[in-house]
């Protein structure tokens, strides 16, 4: 395992744009996380009769018409709308200059284009080639959302879309980190965007990866002895990362700093979770080495644990190997917001805003400890002992990313237990 990016440069976070199952806006998102609210609820957008699972963390209070006129939205699918709005919010929050070669975009996504692709293939299969509208084809391309954002805001720096399944957002942030260190841009809008529709949900249900795989109550329960599969989530979590020099020149106040990044992988079957901890261990150690910190310096781990029997156990073993059993407080936000490719960006927001306010979010759904998961987890919000967080993301198939981030000393969010 090696650190992701060889050169050193101070990288700060100056903006956040959030559209989530807990509402719109990063402050509201983290307030509700700390208050123990869940974005998971019964699905009303489409029927789930015949499915084993019936809940998801769908977008809440999201109206793209508040930000763009109807004529523009006609040509943009659901994923593009989510990307445009979350990017717009992040740029506005950072007061970031647009129409410039100095700013790039790195978008991580597992589902960009899924709505348009399903519609395109359905019309092709039922009506033939003449039934498929040509104007909609562009939205089926995975990099459509990032391209739309680049065009809309004049982001003429590097433009990349990264698909690493559940680790997509942290992968995109890692790319931005390397780009800033290498001087390829002065700032990046980066993070993740994911949404899903009926067919996507149904496929996951039939693959028996969603709670209640194996029976039992349908819920997201990271690290809990009763965990039985994950719950799908959705959201756009875009952040502005820039060099400390660029931020100082602009006179903006950072939310915090990304100190180090690690990237790695575990050997496992396609679509399967890692079955042993060495890959996650190596990735965490690479991130800490890149950041120049020791395990004893870390105040909290934001885990990738998503309520699946295998991943939660293996990640627990990895955390225990690096920090010692019960050696560091551990949080998983996926009990509240489910599993999706943008969840790593959500965790970074929760870490920076929560730790600056002196708080760690609860791990919702955790009630019954599992002896196979030797980690310090709480179903309630807790006071934080410091401002340094390690954030994990693991994708099925084995890709792994890890960030070390430090929250700013002065809070932008009032603590709420």
Token digits for 59? 């977008």
Predicted local confidence at residue 413, as pLDDT: 55
Percentage of the residues of the chain whose pLDDT score is greater than 70: 95
Fold topology of 2-407: Peroxisomal Thiolase; Chain A, domain 1 (3.40.47)
Return the higher-pLDDT residue of 115 and 258.
258
pLDDT at residue 411 in the model: 66
The half-sphere exposure of 68 on its side-chain side, counting CA atoms within 13 A, is 22
pLDDT of residue 417: 35
What average pLDDT does range 156-162 have in this prediction? 96
Please state, in angstroms and rounded to a whole number, the distance separating the CA atoms of residues 307 and 288: 26
pLDDT tens string 345-385: 999 999 999 999 999 999 999 999 999 999 999 999 999 99
Return the closest-CA partner of residue 173 out of 344, 392, 372: 344
CA pair distance 118, 13, nearest whole angstrom: 36
pLDDT tens-digit map of 137-146: 777 888 889 9
Average pLDDT of span 34-55: 94
3-state secondary structure 319-376: HHHHHCCCCCEEECCHHHHCECCCHHHHHHHHHHHHHHCCEECCCCCCCCECCCCCCE
Tell me: pLDDT of 46 over 60. Answer: yes
Can you give the pLDDT at residue 128?
Answer: 85
Residue found by looking up tokens 């200059």 in the block: 97
Is it the case that residue 309 has pLDDT exceeding 90? yes
Q: Indicate the domain borders of the chain.
A: 2-407
Q: Which of 288, 135, 306 has its CA nearest to residue 211? A: 306
* Res. 401: pLDDT tops 80: yes
Q: Mean pLDDT across the stretch 220-235? A: 97
Q: What is the pLDDT of residues 72-122, one digit of tens each?
A: 888 888 999 999 999 999 999 999 999 999 999 999 999 888 877 777 777
Q: Which position has the higher pLDDT, 411 or 184?
A: 184
Mean pLDDT of all residues in 225-251? 96
Residue with tokens 């029976």: 215
From residue 148, how far is each of 157, 241, 299 by CA, in Å?
14, 20, 38
Nearest CA-CA partner of 94 in 81, 83, 103: 103
Q: How many residues would you count in the chain?
A: 417
Average pLDDT, the chain: 92
Q: If pLDDT is split at 50, 70 and 90, which confidence band does 332 have?
A: very high
Does residue 170 sit in helix, strand or coil?
Answer: helix
Q: Give the end-to-end CA distance of the chain in Å, rounded to a whole number.
A: 38
Given a cut of 50, is residue 48 above it in pLDDT?
Answer: yes
Ranking 65-74, 175-184, 254-263 by mean pLDDT, the lowest is 65-74
Structure tokens at 12: 């700060």
Biggest CA pair distance of the chain? 63
């Amino acid at each position: 395992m090696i650190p992701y990016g060889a050169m050193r440069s101070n990288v700060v976070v100056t903006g956040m744009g959030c559209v989530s199952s807990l509402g719109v806006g990063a402050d509201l998102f983290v307030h509700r996380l700390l208050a123990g609210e869940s974005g998971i609820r019964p699905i009303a957008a489409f029927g789930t009769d015949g499915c084993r699972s019936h809940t998801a963390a769908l977008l809440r209070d999201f109206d793209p018409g508040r930000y763009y006129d109807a004529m523009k939205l006609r040509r943009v699918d659901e994923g593009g709308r989510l990307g445009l709005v979350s990017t717009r919010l992040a740029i506005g929050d950072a007061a970031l200059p647009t129409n410039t070669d100095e700013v790039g975009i790195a978008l991580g996504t597992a589902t960009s284009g899924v709505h348009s692709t399903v519609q395109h293939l359905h019309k092709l299969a039922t009506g033939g080639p003449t039934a498929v509208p040509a104007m909609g084809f562009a939205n089926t391309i995975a990099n459509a959302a990032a391209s739309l954002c680049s065009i809309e805001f004049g982001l003429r720096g590097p433009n990349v879309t990264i698909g690493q399944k559940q680790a997509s957002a942290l992968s995109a942030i890692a790319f931005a980190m390397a780009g800033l260190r290498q001087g390829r841009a002065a700032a990046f809008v980066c993070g993740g965007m994911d949404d899903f529709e009926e067919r996507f949900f149904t496929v996951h249900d039939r693959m028996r990866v969603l709670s209640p795989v194996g029976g039992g109550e349908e819920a997201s329960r990271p690290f809990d002895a009763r965990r039985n599969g994950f719950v799908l989530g959705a959201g756009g979590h875009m952040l502005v990362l820039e060099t400390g020099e660029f931020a100082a020149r602009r006179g903006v106040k950072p939310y915090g700093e990304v100190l180090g990044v690690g990237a790695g992988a575990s050997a496992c079957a396609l679509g399967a979770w890692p079955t042993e901890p060495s890959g996650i261990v190596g990735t965490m150690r690479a991130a800490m080495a890149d950041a120049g910190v020791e395990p004893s310096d870390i105040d909290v781990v934001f885990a990738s644990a998503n309520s699946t029997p295998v991943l939660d156990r293996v990640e627990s073993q990895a955390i225990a190997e690096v920090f010692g059993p019960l050696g560091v407080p551990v949080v998983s936000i996926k009990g509240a917001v489910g599993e999706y490719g943008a969840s790593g960006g959500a965790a970074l927001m929760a870490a920076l805003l929560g730790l600056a306010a002196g708080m760690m979010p609860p791990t919702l759904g955790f009630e019954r400890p599992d002896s196979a998961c030797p980690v310090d987890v709480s179903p309630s919000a807790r006071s934080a002992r410091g401002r340094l967080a390690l954030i994990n993301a693991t994708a099925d198939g084995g890709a792994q990313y890890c960030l070390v981030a430090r929250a700013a000393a002065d809070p932008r969010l009032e603590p709420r237990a």
